[in-house]
Amino acid sequence: MSGAGQMASSMSRPISRRLSLPNVLTYARVVAVPVVAGLLFWPREPWARWTALAIFIAAAVTDFFDGYLARAWAQQSSLGRMLDPIADKLLVSAAILMLAADQTISGVTLWAAIVILCREILVSGLREYLAELRVPVPVTRVAKWKTTAQLVALGFLIAGPAGEAVLPGSTTIGVVLLWIAAILTLYTGWDYMKASYDHVSDE
């Protein structure tokens, strides 16, 4: 193969990997973040709430499918592994901040939101530190339950007043689930800290 042909081949491989369907789904989740946040600037408008909820649900669904398809189609990549948890944290953090701003999340429930946000920052820093040591941080089953509880809770809270018109008490359901997510968040955060303690203390 000629030098030009080798160069074209080497360039096409990373480009195709970057544009694989699992990565495109992750990109879509990142793009959904400002859209959901923007729609929640109109917290009393039912159309904005329902549209934000629809986009949030679609983004949450991609969280499952991008990882599943990457494994099933052998399309896992360093970019995908890096961007996937970032997209998740951006989506959750933006939704929590906007819901706190419009007081859907208020009072003592703000502590549940603070716990979730602090844990996300803590685990992100921990993962980055351990990545430098080439120590993997696997996602536990409880962490998956935590993520599910978070997403379902935020779905109910994003629906907010619009959801109350269809299912009275839906905001309360969201608040209860957010507290459950916060409790699971504390447990998984401590679990990650214990698992990484030996590597951190060696330094």
- pLDDT tens digits, one per residue of 45-83: 999 999 999 999 999 888 777 766 666 666 666 666 777
Q: What is the pLDDT at residue 65?
A: 73
> With pLDDT > 70 as the criterion, what percentage of the chain qualifies?
73
Q: Tell me what the mean pLDDT of segment 178-196 comes to.
A: 84
Question: pTM for the complete prediction?
Answer: 0.81
- Extract the tokens encoding 86: 């970032």
Please tell me which residue, 143 or 201, carries the higher pLDDT value. 143
pLDDT band at 26 (very low <50, low <70, confident <90, very high): confident
Domains defined along the chain, listed by start: 15-201 (1.20.120.1760)
- The first and second tokens of residue 14, run together, are 């990373």
What distance in Å separates the CA atoms of residue 28 and residue 1, rounded to the nearest whole number? 37
User: Dihedral sign, CA of 159, 172, 184, 102?
Assistant: positive
